Structure 1
Amino acid sequence: MSLSLQVQVQVMAASPLRRHELQRCSSMAHLKQLHSRTIRLGLSSDNDSMGRLIKFCSLSQSGDLNYALHLFDQMPQPDAFIYNTIIRGLLNSHFPTDCLLFYLRMLHRCVSPNRFTFPSLVGSCCLANAVEEGRQLHAHILKFGFGDDGFCENSLINMYVGFRALDDARKVFDEMPARDVVSWTTLIAGYSRCGFVEEAFCLFESMPEKSSVAWNAMIASYVQSNRFHEAFALFQRMRDEKVELDKYLAASMLAACAGLGDLNQGKWIHRYIEESGIELDSKLATTIIDMYCKCGCLEKAFQVFKELPHIGLSSWNCMIGGLAMHGKGKAAAELFEKMQRERVAPDNITFVNLLSACAHSGLVEEGRSYFRRMSEVHGIEPRIEHYGCMVDLLGRAGMLEEAKEIIDNMPISPDAGVLGALLGACKIHRNVELGEAIGEGVIELEPNNSGRYVVLANLYANAGKWEDVAKVRKLMNDRGVKKAPGCSRIEFEGVVSEFIAGGRTHPESREIYGKVDEMLERIRRVGYVPDVDGVLHDLEEEKENPLYYHSEKLAIAFGLLKTKPRETIRISKNLRVCNDCHNASKLVSLVFNREIIVRDRNRFHHFKMGDCSCQDYW
């Protein structure tokens, strides 16, 4: 047998072994042994053999991209597969510019790209926000004859959506000879992210066949836009069409339940997840906990949390945040300490929730301690949100000067959230001088936020500075800023009823107003006196919507009419509860022997037997 024939036999015998060993390869040490054997067999220039080694180095979690590049540089004529593999590896390692440079090397060495080359390149343009390069790649896709390739077209739609170039994305979509579910859902999600929800819905309706992915994309679009009623309507339609609920749809609808405070629907979805065997991953578990927290059912949220087989960081954060919004500051701190004992490393979100818990419960010393520990023990540098929590904590406690010092010494410029926290504290503690200086700055930072004007006007009204109140109102009018109307929601038998102050659109408004009058008459007997301080500045609302017909009072009256004796009444409101409604709710809980749970813009209030869980600290 000749020498050349012996080598061929050795290569043929070695190839199956080599492929088998590459499949079992789990470390770079093993890979280097295989590389050494490849060299001994004279295969170091063989694209098939080297391509397998480069693929492991580039794409495996145990690989080494630098070693892949070293192997690549030793090859005399790499083929398209090897270039594609390196480009994918660079993209996965977040080196988008290098992806494009490798593509240029590929063209300079006269290696023709194939249909698998461009998706990664287009993805690199998305990562680098390289708009012009992306458009050039689009031209190359057409030039090389891949304009009708679904992978390339979907990549282009995703790229243009990322660039917010929706007209270009739609043009690619419209010119596709065959669209798949990725094409439809990518464009629907793109319209949604840019705020064009109606366009997304029109596109959804034009789909010839709607998959569960498409249903989820559209429902998620409504949820992300806070259009929860439309999300529920579409969900009901989906159920009527017998579309099965998967974990993604379940997560979107749980978020909608949390947004509307619809506990019954949330419970139904939770039961469906349990009974249908849907995988309860960390994200879905966190969404369930969040739903129960935001629907005012803290005990159930904690039960779900404790029963998780593995508690991920997001679930710890969610539960701490839930305790915070319910005013359970000490419980939140205890849960954090348990998290520490179980050696779960916190992140910046953990400390936002923890500091918020301290702020809502007046735990000043604990808050200071956690703020220090965040950087000194855990190496987490404070962000703007953490400073905002500290300003809120100190401000609520009346330590306005210290809160102002925090702002003055921040290494970053304070935003409207940080300054707004101090403004709110100035209103609570009636510090007009500081509040005036802060208020003007907040309004300039957020000129379209009606809440900033309202707080400043309240501050002036409480001090009897009516000329300044008028100036604030005039500034609002001149800028076309409208005060957001207070709206309270209550769910009964699967239907969510909404109320605005003084509104009479509800079909049972006569009975509801009669119940409000009865409710107010009974609490007057135990000492209720209207507190008008909170609405003195808003003369129009005072004329049209008397204090005793605020939206939460109407919702409570509806709850008293519809629910059974001693049944908990759950209400959500889009604004902060005013002092008068807070006092009235405490007395209603006493006189009618009801627990009333109100979720306002900032937190939960649990009214029971004449007291509130916030201890009048909110």
Structure 2
Amino acid sequence: MISSSSSTLLPKTLLSLLKKPKTIPRILQIHAVSITSALFFDPSFAARLLFAVSELSPTSPAYAETVFSQIPRPDTFSYNTIIRIHAHCGNPLKAIHFFALMRKNGIFGDNYTYPFVLKACGSMLGCKVGVLIHGEVIKRGFDEDLFVRNGLISCYCKNGEYGLGRKLFDGFVARDLVSWNSMIAGYVDYGDMEEAQNLFDEMPERDPYSWTILIDGYGKKVGDVDRARKLFDKMPKRDLVCWNSMIDGYTSCGKMDQARELFESMPERNVISWSILIDGYAQHGNPKEALDLFQQMLHQGTKPDKVSAVGAITACTQMGALDQGRWLHFYLKKKKILFDVVVQTALIDMYMKCGSLDLASDVFDSMCERSVVTWNVMIVGLGSNGCGRLALEIFHKMERERAPMDDLTFLGVLTACTHTGLVSEGLEIFERMKSEFGIEPKVEHYGALVDLLGRTGRLREARNVIGKMPMKPTSALWGSLLAACRTHKCVELAELSVEQLAKLGADDSGVYVLLSNIYAGEGMWDDVWRIRKLMKTGGMRKEIGRSAVEVDGTVHEFIYGDSSHPFMQEIYAVLQDLSNSVVSTR
């Protein structure tokens, strides 16, 4: 506990505490004592306190703003600190706002101010503000400062103006590694690997980051992972970032065996190494390996981060492993691992796809912050589970709260209406989409509308939608209409749909099986045999069926015709009993 009894020793005591390792509770205590003792109103001390808070960011940028707002006369140092906090925390607009406030209050920036502001400009789309800052930099004579010049190069390159960045780079003799790396990164972001390589070859010296930029460019940007590996093997000295970058390149290209081999040969690993591989397995259809690797990471004492947590949750989603997903949710809460909007949204998606609507709703209702993705996942999840009216309620709640919407929001709510047969509601939302919300319908939205009308038997209206839509119909639209024709026994439109699918080259075995079933349902056996003969001569084969189920936390996969499961005899015995029960009830 800090005491405010000794007014002589207090300033020195508090300043010495600010130099030690800091936590939010300790900073709050120092802040409170400084206010009660009036020490906080000394601009010098207030600036030191704000700087101490900045060292904890991005833990509490909002608290940093509170401290800043209480400073009676902020100086350049204080403004630089608050701008730097927001620039590094991914709040570029806030950083620009405080720079504008600084100028409005008649306080000029220095050679530390402009790099922070330019970093914020580099995070924004477009560089209009960056050009204005560049003009002020020249007027104030900071254009020859190395740090400011590097900030300008990086700002232009990150906004796609690599030509302007190169002009600054070429016109400046005193370059350092940051100058070279910023320019190379600019070319990599633009996809000009040839120019990036040329500049890399010209560098008088290189650090591991220089190599990593190029490795990342070849591996992730252009997908030339072999070229990236050659560079990696040539590196005179590799750090952990380089290893992770190379593994990330392999996972981005779906080469998981090579990624795993490199991972196993790493001299050391951090949570990023594990996360890249876990997420890679989840994204490339190997959820079991993703979960196994996640467990290995825990056993080796590495605390998960957001990426590895989302990767493991995604793996549970893909496998339908509800028990493992619930355990993971409990673990993340118990260990107080970063539980932000991304992780919570992934949990909602997992619960929805596993059919646990109550748990998904609990997570959704407990969230302090929701992104548009969160709302979309909730709407889609409710719709796919047959709760279309609840999905509509969430949509209308978005309206009331004026939450941002995108085209996926409307696709989700239209699909929800489709799954629940809410035709009039779906038609109304489709009409409002453009007229009220200003979102232009895409082919996917027309597809949802066709599906909505088709499932409820309004086939002619569905056909008219396809005919009047402003873009070329896709195979998905004709396939949706064909499926509706199967349900509502409409041979004429079914034949038209197959004809259009054939023109698009999408007439696979499933299409002809569906048409054959339609003919069979109408007793048109000559056409049934004709279709089967056509499939045989065309070498078409039905896809093998497969399914998976989780039992006591273990996922079992079944493939049609496979007899390798250890309990196959028992499974077939149960199937026989079920079949007998069905027959006896008829």
TM bracket, shorter-chain basis: 0.7 to 0.9
Aligned: 1:119 with 2:181? yes
TM-score (norm 2): 0.77
When residues 236 and 417 of structure 1 are mapped into structure 2, their CA distance, relative to the original with a 3 A threshold, is same
Aligned: 1:257 with 2:316? yes
Residue 512 of structure 1 corresponds to which residue in structure 2?
571
Q: What CA distance in whole angstroms lies between the structure 2 residues aligned with 1:485 and 1:28?
A: 62
Residue 98 of structure 2 corresponds to which residue in structure 1?
27
Aligned: 1:90 with 2:156? yes
Task: For structure 2, list consecutive stretches of 5 or more residues without a partner in the other structure.
Answer: 1-73, 84-96
Mapped contact 1:72–1:78 kept (Cα < 8 A): no
Residue 64 of structure 1 corresponds to which residue in structure 2?
129
Residue 542 of structure 1 corresponds to which residue in structure 2?
none
Within-5 A mapping of 1:201-240:
201-240=260-299
Residue 470 of structure 2 corresponds to which residue in structure 1?
411
Mapped contact 2:156–2:165 kept (Cα < 8 A): no
SS at match of 1:498: strand
Question: 2:371 aligned to 305, 312, 331, which one?
Answer: 312
Compute the displacement of 1:446 (Å).
5.5
Mapped contact 2:82–2:98 kept (Cα < 8 A): no
Q: What CA distance in whole angstroms lies between the structure 2 residues aligned with 1:448 and 1:222?
A: 32
SS at match of 1:488: strand
What do the CA deviations read for 1:80-128 (whole angstroms, capped 9, x no partner)?
4333211222244x2x1x2233313431x35243211233333333443
Residue 348 of structure 2 corresponds to which residue in structure 1?
289
User: Percent of counterpart pairs with the same letter?
Assistant: 34
Q: RCO higher in 1 or 2 (8 Å CA, sep ≥ 6)?
A: 1
When residues 190 and 437 of structure 1 are mapped into structure 2, their CA distance, relative to the original with a 3 A threshold, is farther
When residues 225 and 475 of structure 1 are mapped into structure 2, their CA distance, relative to the original with a 3 A threshold, is farther
What do the CA deviations read for 1:8-41 (whole angstroms, capped 9, x no partner)?
xxxxxxxx9644554456534444368x776xxx
Q: What CA distance in whole angstroms lies between the structure 1 residues aligned with 2:372 and 2:332?
A: 21
SS at match of 2:555: strand
Mapped contact 2:79–2:102 kept (Cα < 8 A): no
Mapped contact 1:460–1:469 kept (Cα < 8 A): no
Mapped contact 1:100–1:121 kept (Cα < 8 A): no
Question: 1:179 aligned to 214, 235, 238, which one?
Answer: 238
Residue 497 of structure 2 corresponds to which residue in structure 1?
438
Compute the displacement of 1:56 (Å).
4.6
What do the CA deviations read for 1:181-226 (whole angstroms, capped 9, x no partner)?
3322322222222232222222222222232211121121111111
Task: For structure 1, list consecutive stretches of 5 or more residues without a partner in the other structure.
Answer: 1-15, 39-48, 528-618
Residue 103 of structure 1 corresponds to which residue in structure 2?
166
Is 25-34 or 284-293 further displaced after alignment? 25-34
Compute the displacement of 1:378 (Å).
0.9
TM-score (norm 1): 0.73
Is 426-435 or 150-159 further displaced after alignment? 426-435
When residues 503 and 208 of structure 1 are mapped into structure 2, their CA distance, relative to the original with a 3 A threshold, is same
Mapped contact 2:351–2:357 kept (Cα < 8 A): yes
Residue 197 of structure 2 corresponds to which residue in structure 1?
138
Compute the displacement of 1:382 (Å).
0.8
Q: What CA distance in whole angstroms lies between the structure 1 residues aligned with 2:387 and 2:346?
A: 20
What do the CA deviations read for 1:499-552 (whole angstroms, capped 9, x no partner)?
23343222122222112112222232222xxxxxxxxxxxxxxxxxxxxxxxxx
Compute the displacement of 1:419 (Å).
2.4
Residue 404 of structure 2 corresponds to which residue in structure 1?
345
Q: What CA distance in whole angstroms lies between the structure 2 residues aligned with 1:86 and 1:174?
A: 33
Q: What letter is aligned with 2:209? A: F
Mapped contact 1:487–1:501 kept (Cα < 8 A): yes
When residues 450 and 117 of structure 1 are mapped into structure 2, their CA distance, relative to the original with a 3 A threshold, is farther
Within-5 A mapping of 1:139-154:
139-146=198-205, 148-154=206-212
Q: What CA distance in whole angstroms lies between the structure 2 residues aligned with 1:264 and 1:279?
A: 21
Q: What CA distance in whole angstroms lies between the structure 2 residues aligned with 1:521 and 1:340?
A: 52
SS at match of 1:279: coil
Is 489-498 or 307-316 further displaced after alignment? 307-316
SS at match of 1:255: helix
Q: What CA distance in whole angstroms lies between the structure 2 residues aligned with 1:449 and 1:84?
A: 56
Would you say how many aligned residue pairs link Structure 1 and Structure 2?
Answer: 490
Is 366-375 or 416-425 further displaced after alignment? 416-425
Compute the displacement of 1:476 (Å).
5.0
Mapped contact 2:383–2:417 kept (Cα < 8 A): yes
Q: What CA distance in whole angstroms lies between the structure 1 residues aligned with 2:318 and 2:535?
A: 31
